[in-house]
Structure 1
Amino acid sequence: MGNSRSGLQLQAEDLIAVQNETGFTPHQIERLYSRFTSLDKSDKGHLTREDFLRIPELAINPLGDRIVHAFFYESKNGDEDRVDFKDFVRVLAHFRPIKKNMEKNKLNTRMEKLHFAFRMYDLDGDDKISREELLAVLTMMVGANICPEQLVSIAERTIIEADTDKDNLISFEEFAKVLERTDVEQKMSIRFLS
């Protein structure tokens, strides 16, 4: 799969590696590659935060900045300022629907989906969700639709209910326990590129 733009090409061995790591089909990878190259305004084979913020769905999503942050947090290329195609597809693999009787991909398991969701709330990256972080994300999500006092109450109740070790923080284990009856596999799946 090649592209006439400045050196952006995905070789057959890259296609197979990406397919094995993410579980996407060759057709889906080609479509994602096309989307990636259309977003790559610099023609250098990587995306910047600005490239992501030009995506209309992210621009209007209250958690758009957090979602964009996830692409850079998950980056394996060692550069915090850009995302290459493989990193782009790795993050999107978290949202691939899980099909019954299919081998689960390591990026697309329930635990990986939960880790991804947890990082949306863990704003400072310390592997704990504080009341302040929870309140900040709730504010991003609902904005002015709920008064600040109600948001504080929701954040405090959530911490009380989830915090089993009583340290006033939510660890990943506590987060996963709270969501154990939630169909994360379905809620964190996007039907795309069929």
Structure 2
Amino acid sequence: MGSRSSHAAIIPEVDTIRQETGFSQACLLRLYHRFQALDRSKKGYLSRMDLQQIGALAVNPLGDRIIDSFFPDGSHQVDFSGFVRVLAHFRPIDDEDASNRDPKQPEPLNSRMNKLRFAFQLYDLDRDGKISRHEMLQVLRLMVGVQVTDEQLESITDRTVQEADDDGDGAVSFLEFAKSLEKMDIEQKMSIRILK
């Protein structure tokens, strides 16, 4: 029987990916097997259609927006390292993350600030660095569906933008977005337990 380290050898760039994402070797191996299962035609990358086969994303109102995050800059495929880097945003923060962090290194992908940046880009549909009223309305409509009337949704949108918009420009910047969520436990709300 092979050891875990020999299994990890099948994962391209495993040490770099471990360092960047904070995932354990065992977790990376499980994610690699999941990646391969999604890559049914064995291309070595995933397409949007491959990711749409994930049940949790198919039923999530923001599923398409989350899938978009795997394909920055209009690309049409994501390799294993890109796949895992996106998933790392959802890795729970543990005490070890904070205590062992070298301040000279970039912030971990699962840090509060990076989780907020990831959430912000789900709303910032045109990627201009601001969430406009129209963008907020579109995302809220996805999230609530037909459970509220258009009039109620317009009111919720106006109130949400107004409460977060500190500079009065009619849009929400990243800093305003982060400030509006400072009391929310984003670290836990944006975490998916992936077995160690």
TM-score of the two chains, using structure 1 as the length reference: 0.89
1:84 and 2:83 matched? no
- State the identity %: 53
1:94 and 2:89 matched? yes
Which amino acid in 2 is paired with 1:187?
Answer: K
Which amino acid in 1 is paired with 2:65?
Answer: R
What SS class does the counterpart of residue 43 from structure 2 fall into?
A: coil
Aligned runs of 1:32-181 on 2, under 5 Å? 32-73=31-72, 80-102=75-97, 103=100, 106-181=108-183
**Partners of 1:10 and 1:99 in 2: CA distance:** 25
**Cross-structure match for 1:10:** 11
**Structure 1 unmatched runs, 5+:** 4-8
Which amino acid in 2 is paired with 1:181?
Answer: K
What SS class does the counterpart of residue 57 from structure 2 fall into?
A: helix
What SS class does the counterpart of residue 117 from structure 1 fall into?
A: helix
Which amino acid in 2 is paired with 1:138?
Answer: L
Which amino acid in 1 is paired with 2:168?
Answer: K
Which amino acid in 1 is paired with 2:64?
Answer: D
> How many positions carry a matched residue from both structures?
183
Which amino acid in 1 is paired with 2:81?
Answer: K
Change in 2 beyond 3 A, CA 1:119/1:79: closer
What SS class does the counterpart of residue 106 from structure 1 fall into?
A: coil
**Structure 2 unmatched runs, 5+:** 1-5, 102-106
Runs of 4+ aligned residues of structure 1 deviating over 2 Å after TM superposition are 101-105
Highest RCO, 1 vs 2 (Cα 8 Å, sep ≥ 6): 2
**Partners of 2:109 and 2:119 in 1: CA distance:** 13
RMSD over aligned Cα, in angstroms? 1.7
**Partners of 2:187 and 2:60 in 1: CA distance:** 21
User: How far does residue 18 in structure 1 lie from its aligned partner after superposition?
Assistant: 0.8
**Cross-structure match for 2:25:** 26
User: How far does residue 79 in structure 1 lie from its aligned partner after superposition?
Assistant: 6.9
**Partners of 1:163 and 1:79 in 2: CA distance:** 29
**Partners of 1:47 and 1:138 in 2: CA distance:** 28
